[in-house]
């Protein structure tokens, strides 16, 4: 007998609902994006995001159920992102999920947003099973995670300051690109020389799996300011290519070293920045050279969506990890810990 999961995601600026069958078959994945709304502010405004989630959450759930051709009576459990993310945005999804659970008696599952990103790989690659190494790169997070089992995660290292996606967006904004800036840098980098400017790579000593991108961001800003003060021409394509190379090289090298350290041959990529073509190409080449198997999610599953949350929720349900109606949003929560109760 099939198991149906309804999932909700509202951690940042996408309101999404999805229905999955048996954890890995996506029957619907409705995403209402707020990117055009936040673009004029140059980034996500939390208060505005929350208001739009409130407007969209019920229509998005209705649409997901319709698209999947199921009703709430068919749903076995409800998964919802409870953290990390913007607290006001998270609260909308959590409140909607709790309301549905209370009204219907359908069990509730609290999903960690970044675990959801990792599990997006299962939707694109039916043959994938743990253990594997996952490079998680998004606007708010950069980390290397050893996925030992469906319920066992070991963080090898994470960013000490800016996440890779955050650095992309900040440099893009300085260079005059609209939000979100990462895809603009990625496209422009194809036209530039990645070896034109040497930008710093932090924490590059062997065996260090931590990340730091604030120094790189400062170096790029200093380079641009220096050129402007001297009235010297700036080759934007070269800046984009060199900046992107500095980030990509660090991500790929640390992933390679971590895989060798662990003896893992399966590599997955997860998070919004996993859609970056420069990073995908470099990671794929490295995996081919090292004899690793490389997995990535479909593009629509790289950015925030409820299908990945539904996949994670399914495996949590198998492990009996449910929440009660005291579930609350947690803007900051570590991966691998179901800690939805108040401390």
* C-alpha span between 61 and 67 (Å, rounded): 10
| Residue 165: half-sphere exposure toward Cβ, Cα within 13 Å | 20
Query: Is 260 annotated to bind ligand?
Result: no
Query: Is 186 annotated to bind ligand?
Result: yes
Query: Is 169 annotated to bind ligand?
Result: yes
Q: How many CB atoms lie within 10 A of CB 233?
A: 6
Q: Which residues pair with 17 in a beta bridge?
A: 8, 30
> Are 342 and 103 within 8 A, CB to CB?
no
* C-alpha span between 114 and 134 (Å, rounded): 11
Query: Is 147 annotated to bind ligand?
Result: no
Query: Is 42 annotated to bind ligand?
Result: no
Closest CA to 11 of 31, 25, 26, 29: 31
* C-alpha span between 164 and 141 (Å, rounded): 7
Query: Is 23 annotated to bind ligand?
Result: no
> CA 173 → CA 76, 119, 137, 217, 302, distances in Å?
44, 31, 19, 12, 22
Helix axes 164-174, 214-229, angle to 10 degrees: 10
Query: Is 77 annotated to bind ligand?
Result: no
> Are 308 and 16 within 8 A, CB to CB?
no
Query: Is 22 annotated to bind ligand?
Result: no
* Binding-site residue positions: 113, 117, 136-140, 169, 182, 186, 276, 304
* Binding-site residue positions for Fe cation: 113, 117, 304
* Binding-site residue positions for substrate: 136-140, 169, 182, 186, 276
């Amino acid at each position: 007998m099939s198991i149906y999961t309804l999932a909700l995601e509202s951690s940042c600026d996408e309101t999404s609902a999805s229905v999955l069958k048996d954890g890995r078959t996506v029957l619907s994945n409705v995403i209402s994006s707020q990117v055009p709304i936040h673009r004029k502010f140059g980034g996500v405004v939390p208060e505005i995001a929350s208001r739009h989630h409130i407007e969209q959450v019920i229509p998005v759930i209705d649409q997901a159920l319709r698209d999947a051709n199921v009703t709430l009576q068919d749903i076995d459990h409800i998964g919802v992102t409870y953290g990390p993310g913007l607290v006001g945005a998270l609260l909308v999804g959590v409140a909607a999920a709790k309301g549905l659970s209370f009204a219907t008696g359908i069990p509730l599952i609290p999903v960690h947003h970044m675990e959801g990103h990792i599990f997006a790989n299962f939707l694109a690659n039916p043959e994938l099973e743990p253990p594997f190494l996952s490079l998680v790169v998004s606007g708010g997070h950069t980390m290397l995670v050893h996925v030992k089992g469906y319920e066992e995660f070991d963080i090898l290292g994470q960013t000490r300051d800016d996440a890779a996606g955050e650095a992309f967006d900040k440099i893009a904004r300085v260079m005059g690109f609209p939000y979100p800036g990462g895809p603009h840098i990625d496209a422009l980098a194809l036209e530039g020389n990645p070896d034109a400017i040497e930008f710093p790579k932090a924490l590059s000593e062997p065996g260090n799996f931590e990340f730091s991108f604030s120094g790189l961001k400062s170096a790029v800003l200093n380079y641009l300011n220096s050129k402007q003060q001297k009235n010297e021409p700036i080759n934007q394509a070269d800046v984009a290519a060199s900046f992107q190379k500095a980030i990509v090289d660090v991500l790929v090298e640390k992933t390679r070293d971590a895989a060798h350290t662990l003896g893992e041959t399966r590599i997955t990529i997860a998070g919004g920045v996993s859609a970056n073509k420069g990073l995908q190409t470099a990671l794929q080449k490295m995996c081919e050279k090292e004899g690793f198997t490389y997995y990535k999610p479909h593009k629509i599953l790289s950015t925030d969506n409820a299908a990945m949350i539904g996949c994670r929720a399914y495996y949590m349900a198998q492990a009996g990890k449910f929440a009660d109606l005291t579930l609350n949003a947690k803007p900051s929560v570590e991966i691998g810990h179901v800690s939805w109760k108040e401390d």
